[in-house]
């Protein structure tokens, strides 16, 4: 379990990343960290990209209804103006933010803030997702959380898409995605490919 670093002397800012597949508990872990900071009377704010409209506009909701209020923003640069006097900044669904996020979170950390970035590390094709790889590179602390593969029970690292929509930004729940380990993810893709070929030959 992640424990906050202990600083001797003056407190400085830093970046944490919580990443993993869908259904791996990223948001729950983000909320756990933020709630503890709140209890310690630290000013906490959460932001999420405007694109994520699955749930209530102002909530970061995890799948177990354990929620915390969040502000939707259109561009990562808005973080600079909205975090005056805030000591802990949470960023949820960070994979949907623009590439400037990396620079923005570094500026905030330089200003002495603790930044906690949560997001999908890979898209449904298994490719690094949005600004997450860049933020991982500059972060002090990285936590990869994993789901359980719905086929074999091993640790799941990938988000397998059950629907055929080719658009990367499909926000959804269990009817559209399932967590899979690397092997079951690859097997699914091969079977899908074979199925597609069969249909085309008909
Ligand atoms: Zn598996």
In a domain, 59, yes or no: yes
Taking phi first (over 0 means left), then psi (-120 to 50 degrees means alpha), and beta for anything else, what does residue 92 get?
beta
What is the pLDDT averaged over residues 74-89? 96
Residue 162 lies in a domain: no
Distance 155 CA to ligand 1 centre (A): 7
Residue 164's pLDDT is what?
Answer: 65
Is 168 among the domain residues? no
pLDDT of the residue at 52: 58
Query: What CA–CA distance (Å, rounded) separates 59 from 115?
Result: 18
Distance, CA of 67 to CA of 48 (rounded, Å):
13
How much distance in Å is there from the Cα of 143 to the middle of ligand 1? 21
Is the residue at 179 inside a domain? no
pTM: 0.86
Catalytic residues: 93
Ramachandran angles phi, psi of 176, nearest 5°: -110, -25
CB 168, CB 123: distance < 8 Å:
yes
The residue among 169 and 45 whose pLDDT is bigger is 45
Indicate the range of 11-15, 32-36, 52-56, 190-194 predicted with least confidence: 52-56
CATH number, domain of 120, equals 3.40.50.300
Beta bridge partners, 99, equal none
- Say which residue, 16 or 10, is predicted with more confidence: 16
In a domain, 84, yes or no: yes
Q: Which one, of 99, 73, 3, 98, lies nearest residue 89 by Cα?
A: 73
Tell me what the mean pLDDT of segment 139-147 comes to. 97
Pick left, alpha or beta for residue 124 (phi over 0 → left; psi -120 to 50 → alpha; otherwise beta).
Answer: alpha
Backbone angles phi, psi at 146, to 5 degrees: -130, 150
Which structural domain, as residue segments, surrounds residue 132? 14-145
Going from the Cα of 56 to the center of ligand 1, the distance in angstroms, rounded, reads 33
CA 79, 82, 88, 89 torsion-angle sign: negative
Task: Give the distance (Å) from ligand 1 centre to CA of residue 178.
Answer: 11
Write down the pLDDT at residue 65.
61
Q: What is the whole-number distance in angstroms between the Cα of residue 123 and the centre of ligand 1?
A: 17
Number of domains in the chain: 1
Over range 25-38, report the average pLDDT.
Answer: 92
Highest mean predicted confidence (pLDDT) among 8-17, 65-74, 108-117, 172-181: 108-117
pLDDT at 176 over 90: no
pLDDT at 198: 82
**Domain-embedded: residue 94:** yes
Spacing, Cα 90 to ligand 1 middle (Å): 31
Look over the chain and give the mean of its residue pLDDT values, rounded to a whole number.
88
Q: Is residue 111 part of a domain?
A: yes
Pair 73, 49: CB distance under 8 Å: yes
Select from 93, 17, 37 the least CA-distant residue to 62: 93
Residue 6 forms part of a structural domain: no
């Amino acid at each position: 379990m992640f424990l906050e670093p202990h600083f001797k002397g003056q407190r400085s800012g830093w970046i944490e990343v919580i990443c993993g597949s869908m259904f791996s508990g990223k948001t729950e872990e983000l909320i756990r960290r933020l709630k503890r900071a709140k209890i310690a009377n630290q000013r906490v704010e959460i932001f999420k990209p405007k694109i994520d409209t699955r749930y209530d506009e102002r909530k970061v909701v995890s799948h177990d209804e354990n929620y915390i209020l969040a502000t939707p923003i259109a561009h990562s640069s808005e973080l600079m103006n909205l975090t005056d006097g805030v000591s802990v900044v949470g960023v949820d669904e960070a994979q949907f933010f623009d590439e400037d996020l990396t620079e923005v979170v570094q500026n905030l950390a330089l200003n002495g803030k603790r930044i906690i970035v949560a997001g999908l590390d890979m898209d449904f094709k298994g490719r690094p997702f949005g600004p997450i790889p860049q933020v991982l590179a500059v972060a002090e602390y990285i936590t990869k959380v994993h789901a359980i593969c719905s086929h074999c029970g091993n640790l799941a690292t990938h988000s397998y898409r059950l629907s055929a929509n080719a658009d990367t930004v499909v926000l959804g729940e269990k009817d559209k995605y399932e967590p899979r380990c690397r092997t079951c993810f690859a097997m699914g893709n091969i079977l899908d490919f074979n199925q597609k070929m069969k249909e085309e030959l008909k």
